[in-house]
Amino acid sequence: MWFGIWGPNNLPPEVIARFSSAISEALASPAVKQRYEVLSAEPIGLDQKAFTQLLADEGKRLSTLIKERNIVIE
């Protein structure tokens, strides 16, 4: 399970940095960690490049699964 935040393509780098910093700070807080523990999840923060790669990898993985299982969208 993963969550992400998207913005417009022309979002200034300083805005991205502020969001990234705030999210990393929140994920490191004991209160947030405790909430994730209840879900048996571990919060990790990815930078923009790593998250983009995660999305690409997930897309490939799911595409392969759909083809292998002959899943048809109705």
pLDDT tens readout for residues 37-52:
999 998 888 988 999 9
Shared domain check, 50 and 74:
yes
> Does residue 5 lie within any of the structural domains?
no
Domain that holds residue 69: 46-74
39 and 16, same structural domain?
yes
- pLDDT given at position 21: 93
pLDDT of the residue at 24: 92
CB–CB of 36/42 below 8 Å? yes
pTM given for the model: 0.71
What pLDDT was estimated at residue 47? 87
Q: What's residue 73's pLDDT?
A: 86
The mean per-residue pLDDT over the stretch 12-36 comes to: 94
> Based on the domain organization, do 33 and 55 belong to the same domain?
no
Torsion of CA 14, 19, 20, 24, to 10 degrees: 140
pLDDT at 59 (0 to 100) = 96
